[in-house]
Structure 1
């Protein structure tokens, strides 16, 4: 069924709005919308005005300097403690100023199935060959209304500039723990296969027990779990691996349990959304014990999204032009062995959508940027559905301003994959491009917020708008 909505502007002329969350200030009686921008500002709205909550631009790595203005670093995660109203605690994930390195590889990576060397690369000399450092911090809103940093939870060395996750911090309503989604480290095709390695922090979904005090104010910079101090290891459990790059995790209450949704940004073929309810996380201390004993950890009911062997429901391909017919593509399995090894251990996506889709009522995807369940009743046909956004609708045939796309799907009761439908919007962006960079919701999941930017470059300032999606 076709659904049409309106985009109602809330605030304009801001930088890239990467995270959209609501929270209630101590002493307040209503939720406020918080907007975190990639360059390091956090705003909040209320009574029709916008105010600055926190400005950490001086803490953020210089963005857009080496990739023509495009960047995937910056302020990537913001989460409010479930008891923020009482304790004022909130959490940040960002790329740290002054940590720029040369990168883990001297040139761009392209695997070649005919060259085994390209399929078995190792990340060597990690202390020197890296791109930047990401940090996860705990902050507190003091009684005088000023935020202040309390402690650092993790310092992570990242091999490349991209695939750091976005909307990467969220609290689990099931466990009360802070959930961190980490991308596979970047480049393309996961050159070091970090996402499947249990010892690598990259490419995982990790729960952090923030109620445990590690008594370490500034942890060491690491890439692997065994490099962490024991007191930090004891705060961590791993929910999932095989993550390429995820726009966060979202939770939908269903009777007495929660359905979890995680999007996995694709490489060449598809974007994927996974859902699961029952799972068995593995404590990091158990992973390290298995590693030291050279054995496999118990993976019963552990979640594996399959990357890098699988891109959604398909063995990860390399797509090349057919020299005899340029209108056709040749698709070669990139990592055959990886696909075989993970074929029985991975979960299947709730939905795939394609970078090339010939159906007239669909669209050609670029990059998944947000996944949220909608439990409100103002847009009746969307109630109970899963709404998602794509960065930009591909359209090679015509030269026109870029438009992102808003989409929805439903979870089938028989657990089989479902199709999706494009949500029509009425907003006229004119001649300006409109990249859909984030999707957010309020605490009750009855309102949806859309972050849009007029450019793909982080160096193009003040081109962002945040909308509420309304009937």
Structure 2
């Protein structure tokens, strides 16, 4: 693929970690403003070169950085403006709730066995020990990490934004894989799309992502027009625990999700290509695309579960996790310390890989954690996927641009994130990808690429960069526009 060179133009710096970058037009305004949501709970917008605070919900956000020595995947994770925001002032938030810290979902003995302070991302299945392959999440009301909420807010004219109602309260098993940039409106259906991760740890220990009843590991549409008149719904983990009026507002687009940095829609004649990135485990990061899909209503899923039948899953999207990591059966890497190139990869969930092999969607492209090819890179974690249809950077027009958190950690410090792009092939086959070169000099400072955003018509691209991987290292963020 062709080499693309871009510049990064700083828009604002000394921010906290930016999780969402998107534009909208404020009621009564005449221009689009760039909105920046930070993981710690602030939402700013840029007006006439001045940063203004739109909303500050820091007191509502769980205490961050306590599980992983400063690293965290909780916080303010989603912000979406209603398509009619200019007229109705409605917007939506997804965040991890203050005061809900729990002990985690694995029993203490298993956490202790893993060492590392029992951090859940270190869980690995052992193919020789069936117990590790079939763990169940039990005692959910006491064994969990935190609660996430999805809320509807309203901006009244000249008044501070106010919360209107809660759409969902979700109990999450671990601190990681909660999704990021997790709320977006579908231009096809007009519904709010929530992308949830598999609940966290490593290797999806409870296989929540393939279980039709589990809310974790799914892409869900919420019909916000249907008012349930329920302003504080119960805290749940499964669809069948939801009250009927809320069940009726939900449809499921996809399952088999590990963790997703949002969903991007690209208009293509009279239909939309959907782009979704799935964060990988040990081998590969993957980007998927699809046009046609057949969502399943939650009431249908529950009915099928009660009848012990399979719901019709023709044209229902399945990304294949935890049986598949992108284009590979999910593998455990057994290290060969004498010679890392001889590391052995053992299939972790063979039966599940077989079961989901036909139904799963093939990725559009995958890139790898280890890649010695001269024009590629070793990645760490996918942090953004956005369609670009602008003409400002002609070599990128019509492509899908993505960001990786940090180049392979074996490279020398300071750390740098990666920008890259790919395109949809007309024959639907796996495509290659290419690095986008940037000319910005970050000096000796680390530069983790933490978020990617666009304006409303996808003709401009914004990049969020952070100087640390720890959310508790404050004010180290810069937001750039990506320009020719």
TM-score by length of 2: 0.96
Q: Any conservation in 1 of the 2:27–2:157 contact (CA below 8 Å)?
A: no
Q: What corresponds to 1:31 in structure 2? A: 32
Q: What corresponds to 1:214 in structure 2? A: 228
Find the aligned partners of 1:410 and 1:395 in 2 and give their Cα distance.
27
Q: What corresponds to 1:168 in structure 2? A: 182
Greater mean deviation of Cα atoms: 333-342 or 101-110: 101-110
1:321 aligns with 2:335: yes
Task: Please show how residues 455-466 of structure 1 align to structure 2 within 5 Å.
Answer: 455-466=468-479
- Deviation of the 1:321 alpha carbon: 1.4
Moved segments of 4+, more than 2 Å: 322-327
- Among residues 210, 213, 218, which one is paired with 1:199 in the alignment? 213
Q: Any conservation in 1 of the 2:287–2:364 contact (CA below 8 Å)?
A: yes
- Deviation of the 1:145 alpha carbon: 3.2
Q: What corresponds to 1:98 in structure 2? A: 99
Residue deviations 1:270-326 (CA, integer Å, cap 9, x gap): 000000000000000000000000111000100000000000000000001136744
Q: What corresponds to 1:437 in structure 2? A: 450
Instruction: List runs of 5+ in structure 2 lacking aligned partners.
Output: 112-119
Find the aligned partners of 1:133 and 1:267 in 2 and give their Cα distance.
24
- Among residues 339, 350, 357, which one is paired with 1:336 in the alignment? 350
Find the aligned partners of 2:187 and 2:159 in 1 and give their Cα distance.
26
Q: What corresponds to 2:58 in structure 1? A: 57
Task: Please show how residues 121-132 of structure 1 align to structure 2 within 5 Å.
Answer: 121-132=135-146
1:401 aligns with 2:414: yes
Instruction: List runs of 5+ in structure 1 lacking aligned partners.
Output: none
Q: What corresponds to 1:186 in structure 2? A: 200
Q: What corresponds to 2:7 in structure 1? A: 6
- Among residues 417, 436, 446, which one is paired with 2:459 in the alignment? 446
Find the aligned partners of 1:300 and 1:457 in 2 and give their Cα distance.
42
Cα gap change, 1:395/1:456 in structure 2, threshold over 3 Å: closer, same or farther? closer
Find the aligned partners of 2:397 and 2:159 in 1 and give their Cα distance.
37
- Deviation of the 1:400 alpha carbon: 1.9
Find the aligned partners of 2:150 and 2:263 in 1 and give their Cα distance.
16
- Deviation of the 1:176 alpha carbon: 0.1
Residue deviations 1:321-377 (CA, integer Å, cap 9, x gap): 136744411000000011011001101000000000010111001000000010000
1:246 aligns with 2:260: yes
TM-score by length of 1: 0.99
Cα gap change, 1:112/1:352 in structure 2, threshold over 3 Å: closer, same or farther? same
Aligned residues: 470
Q: Any conservation in 1 of the 2:124–2:202 contact (CA below 8 Å)?
A: yes
Residue deviations 1:351-410 (CA, integer Å, cap 9, x gap): 0000000101110010000000100001011000110000000141x5320000000111
Find the aligned partners of 1:146 and 1:131 in 2 and give their Cα distance.
31
- Among residues 135, 138, 153, which one is paired with 2:149 in the alignment? 135
- Among residues 389, 413, 435, which one is paired with 1:422 in the alignment? 435
- Among residues 156, 163, 166, which one is paired with 1:152 in the alignment? 166
Q: What is the SS of the residue equivalent to 1:322?
A: coil
Cα gap change, 1:403/1:326 in structure 2, threshold over 3 Å: closer, same or farther? closer
Find the aligned partners of 1:400 and 1:61 in 2 and give their Cα distance.
31
Find the aligned partners of 2:92 and 2:412 in 1 and give their Cα distance.
42
Q: What is the SS of the residue equivalent to 2:132?
A: helix
Q: What is the SS of the residue equivalent to 2:343?
A: strand
Find the aligned partners of 2:359 and 2:466 in 1 and give their Cα distance.
38
Find the aligned partners of 1:169 and 1:311 in 2 and give their Cα distance.
24
Q: What corresponds to 1:411 in structure 2? A: 424
Residue deviations 1:84-112 (CA, integer Å, cap 9, x gap): 00000000000000000000013142100
1:44 aligns with 2:58: no
